[in-house]
Amino acid sequence: MPVAWTLDEIPDQTGRTAVVTGASSGLGLVAAEHLAAHGATVIMAVRDPAKGELARSGMSGNLKVRRLDLADLDSVRAFAAQLRDEGHEIDLLLNNAGVGAVPHAHSAQGYERVFATNHLGHFALTGLLLDLFRTDRDPRVVTVSSAYYRLLRGGPDLDDLAGIPATSRIERYIRSKQANVLFGMELDRRLRHAGSPVRSFLAHPGMARTSMPAQASGWAERAVVNFQGLLVARSAVRGTVPLLYAATSPTAQTGVLLGPSLRKWDDRVHARPIVAPGNDSGLASRLWQVSEAATGVRYLSPYVELRS
């Protein structure tokens, strides 16, 4: 059943440390602000530290800005090493940052930029931080995806991580969101198999009014985005509700996609079953293997044999 939950119901976060990626604007900024307001120490992982400091100056609470460029695996490693050197322990990782329908380009390591930012960077970050989680404080990883993951068949192209330039921007975005779902589900399975207290949640904001929809190009894409915005778009604050529900609520579930209804007046959090291609454990296992090879980050031993 949908859950009527508000940001006022965030439990006391005193003593907890949260890492929020993409925390200088949009959903990440709202999440960082509310976590800090409820007592958490929040590490704002941002690509532009100056922008992050400006955002931090407008908020109260214990917030720290650290540089993280998810499209550069060297930056991901440097960020994780800095947290380790500073002696941080972690209770929550909110894998929120992402790019949308941007022009075809490559990451620092030569991977298609949207897939590299939205998936590979977070895959590496989670693995590099996993041993910093405190085991006795309800540790959680929340990966932000999109309900759009259901719109295309087959999942991400794991044989061509550099990406085909002719592929549409929307398709590249949706494929990266499929990777988010597959990763979140596989992480949940592997954590359970390992007997870890860390839990992996999947959430999405619906269509929120952030800078990401504005990245659509061409009159057709912009027309679709603007039309959808009139119908279903909600504010960044309202879009953050499912993310923070997954991050903090004792009743949040794993193995489902937590998000809003398509009806933008409905603020309840809905737990949707994961459907194809997100429920393909064989594809998820292969994505994990490909991601390990691409990032050089290995964690949580495999347990699911890839189906032929």
Scan for tokens 């909110």, then name that residue: 94
Question: What is the torsional sign of CA 100, 104, 105, 110?
Answer: positive
What is the Rg, in whole angstroms, of the alpha carbon atoms belonging to the chain? 18
Pairing of β 256-259 and β 270-273: antiparallel
For 42, the enclosing helix (H) or strand (E) is: strand 41-46
C-alpha dist (Å) from residue 263 to 213, 237, 241: 18, 16, 15
Euclidean distance between CA atoms 147 and 270, whole angstroms: 12
Catalytically annotated residues: 173
Q: Are the C-beta atoms of residues 298 and 124 closer than 8 Å to each other?
A: no
| Strand arrangement of the beta sheet that strand 17-21 belongs to | 63-67, 41-46, 17-21, 92-95, 140-144, 199-203, 256-259, 270-273
